[in-house]
Amino acid sequence: MIHQNGVILGYRLQIQKENGGPLVWNLTVGADVYGYIVSDLLIFQNYSVQILAFTNKGDGPLSEKVYQMTEESGELNGLKLKRTLCLIIVGGLTSTNRHSKGKR
């Protein structure tokens, strides 16, 4: 994708608990990544997500925070479920969708 500051090379994602504190996740993904699943989060915890795009000229501005609360984890037919956030990256915008991810 071409941006006013050049070709977008990737995105940086920052995830932290709603009440602030250190980042829970701080990761960089390529421009060809349109979604990312973050797992092993705490149950009933509100997280904030921010994203920025970067080019060869540097980082763009961070997006506004998007908030999402995880639900409870549990067990279904012997499969332990842990809470995850599915981040959908579309042209530098972020939306979240929570779901359970199975872990054995």
The reported pLDDT for the residue numbered 20 is 80
The reported pLDDT for the residue numbered 92 is 46
Provide CB contacts within 8 A for 5, sequence distance 6+. Answer: 55, 57, 58, 60
Domain extent for 89: 2-103
Stretches where the chain sits below pLDDT 70 are 1-3, 73-104
Domain count, the chain: 1
Distances (CA, A) of 104 to 3, 6, 39, 81: 43, 44, 14, 8
Single pTM value for the model = 0.70
CATH number of the structural domain spanning residue 43: 2.60.40.10
The reported pLDDT for the residue numbered 90 is 55
